[in-house]
Amino acid sequence: MNLSTGRASVAGNVPTSSAGDLAFIKGHLFFAGNNDTLGVINLSNTQQPSTVGSFGLATAVFGLAPGDSGTLYGAAYSKLFKVEPSTGAVSYVMDFGSGLGQAFGMAPLKATPTRDEDRLLNYAEDKFPGLFVPVFSPSLQSGTYYYRFYRESGAILAVTQGQLVYYVVGGTPIVLGPVSDFLASVTAAGY
């Protein structure tokens, strides 16, 4: 999609028609095929899209969404499943059908951030979950500090003047380095 003109062009073909959603995880675009399969499109190179494997549900998965730390979730009728991205195999999570009906789509657990700072903070939360509790803390601004405060762990992760800074409440701030040093890893991990 050309964002300047709005024109779309074919980037490639998928091995089966899609049953619904696409989910982006760590440089790969996953799709649920209408033939009970998980497919993948590798956006970081020129490999052709391929089928990863069968969900093993004997029905189409209409909802597909990324979770935390590279997890993938799918919905079929009124059931939620965790999907193994490397095989397509599913494990049952829950039935949400009590009055809600059938799922025809899903949304990501976290919104796709547009700021590099948010992408970096999300990456740090997923990479070091024990340090940043609870996850999903809101991003805040105070002066030159763009930060998240994790009340349960007492940690603050901040970006100020192009530097990534970590500290625990009452402690001395530790400068971890320039944000630019981390962005390649963040992008490669799919954030």
Top-tier CATH class for 18-95: mainly beta
Length of the chain: 191
If you average pLDDT over residues 65-90, what whole number do you get?
82
Note the pLDDT tens digit of each residue in 105-155. 777 766 555 688 988 998 898 788 889 887 667 788 999 999 999 988 999
pLDDT at 172: 95
Give the C-alpha separation, 172 to 157, whole Å.
12
- Residues in CB range of 151: below 8 A, 6 or more apart: 134, 137
If you average pLDDT over residues 5-20, what whole number do you get?
74
Chain mean pLDDT for the chain:
82
- Residues in CB range of 97: below 8 A, 6 or more apart: 77, 78, 79
Q: Where are the domains of the chain?
A: 18-95, 116-188
If you average pLDDT over residues 29-44, what whole number do you get?
79
- 0.75 exceeded by the pTM? no
Note the pLDDT tens digit of each residue in 39-58. 887 665 556 777 788 888 87
Residue where the block lists tokens 């192009």: 162
Q: Angle at the Cα of 26 (from 24 to 29), degrees rounded to 5?
A: 35
pLDDT at 129: 81
Residue where the block lists tokens 């059931």: 79
Query: Which residue type, as a one-letter code, is found at position 125?
Result: E
CB 47 within 8 A of CB 5: no
Give the C-alpha separation, 64 to 32, whole Å.
7
SS3 for 19-73, per residue?
Answer: EEEEEEECCEEEEEECCCEEEEEECCCCCCCEEEEECCCCCCCCEEEECCCCCEE
If you average pLDDT over residues 34-39, what whole number do you get?
84
pLDDT at 112: 57
Give the C-alpha separation, 79 to 70, whole Å.
20
Residue where the block lists tokens 């030159």: 144
Note the pLDDT tens digit of each residue in 173-187. 999 999 999 999 988
Say whether pLDDT at 85 is over 80.
yes
